[in-house]
Amino acid sequence: MIDITHKNRTLREAVAGAILCVSKPETIDAVINNKVPKGNVFEMAKTAGLFAVKKTADMIPDCHPLPVEFTSVSYTLNDLEIHIEVKVKTIYRTGVEVEAMHGASVVALTMYDMLKPIDKGIEIRNIKLLSKSGGKSDWKDKYMELHLNANVIVCSDSISAGKKEDKAGLAIVSKLKSVGVDINHYQIIADEKESIFEQVMQAVNDKVNILVFTGGTGLSMRDVTPESIIPMLDRRIPGVEETIRNYGQERTPLSMLSRSVVGVKGKTLIIALPGSTKGATESVEAIFPAVLHIFRIFKGTRHD
């Protein structure tokens, strides 16, 4: 199975369909009037579909076991066709498309099995995904048209002195590009109050959308980034800070010590993240692209 530990838990939904085609009107009449010898076709098939959805991970090798928190099975009759629709919901790190399609296929197969004694011309057609929602790609697409840009600043005495190589800043640059944010400026500076002040004022004056600092958020007396940034902010955004810490805490118990800071100055979103590659990577995974919604609020075009 692929690694999904880096993903956030979100509400995910999938709807799948299948079509059962019978060969004569009498078969449809028998189903509607509950005259099929093997029993109530709609109820038996629905029950089988519910079992199938919950057992998908047992049948499909690469499917992750996940909490199925809602499943519905519905039918629509159209002449000699029975249209089957299965909807599945979960709050998890991966989607439920295969669960929905597995459910729809087993519903159709159950109907086939129950009806074959009275109709030898039955076919199953068009097992397919009808819709899905809730994945990160859904959010990414909402912000592509905003044409946002960012400055990424690495605050580190040792890296600016050439003693170490930057990896955290480059990881942030890569993530921002992947969600459609253009990088205006990438720079390595010493973790000093004056330098940080200059970067903030330059970004605000240049109307940069996003200013990301990495480094200088530890507990050492030399780590001054949060103390330098907080007084300059017009408003902090505690929810984003909490999301960063909660995401990290699920992966390492040391994240409780994070001093990440998020806020706005003017209409520039300012984010201060840990300087470790792992910490920086996890932090941007936790909040992007959803944090970009702030720019819809700025523009007055909220799509909640």
- pLDDT (0 to 100) of residue 148: 95
Determine the longest span between alpha carbons in the chain, in angstroms. Answer: 84
pTM for this prediction: 0.77
Q: Is 113 in the active site?
A: yes
- The list of the chain residues with pLDDT below 70 reads 136-142, 218-222, 301-304
- pLDDT (0 to 100) of residue 146: 83
Q: How many whole angstroms separate alpha carbon 273 and alpha carbon 268?
A: 16
Q: How many whole angstroms separate alpha carbon 191 and alpha carbon 160?
A: 9
Q: Which amino acid is at 138?
A: D
Domain ranges of the chain: 10-134, 139-299
Q: Which of 113, 119, 182, 234 is the catalytic position?
A: 113
CATH (residue range 139-299) = 3.40.980.10
Half-sphere exposure in the Cβ direction for 130 (13 Å, CA): 16
Q: How many whole angstroms separate alpha carbon 126 and alpha carbon 78?
A: 15
CATH (residue range 10-134) = 3.30.70.640
Q: How many whole angstroms separate alpha carbon 142 and alpha carbon 57?
A: 31
Span 205-247, pLDDT tens digits: 999 999 999 987 765 656 788 889 999 999 999 999 999 999 9
Equal fold, 10-134 vs 139-299 = no
Work out the mean pLDDT of the chain and round it to a whole number.
Answer: 92
- pLDDT (0 to 100) of residue 303: 47
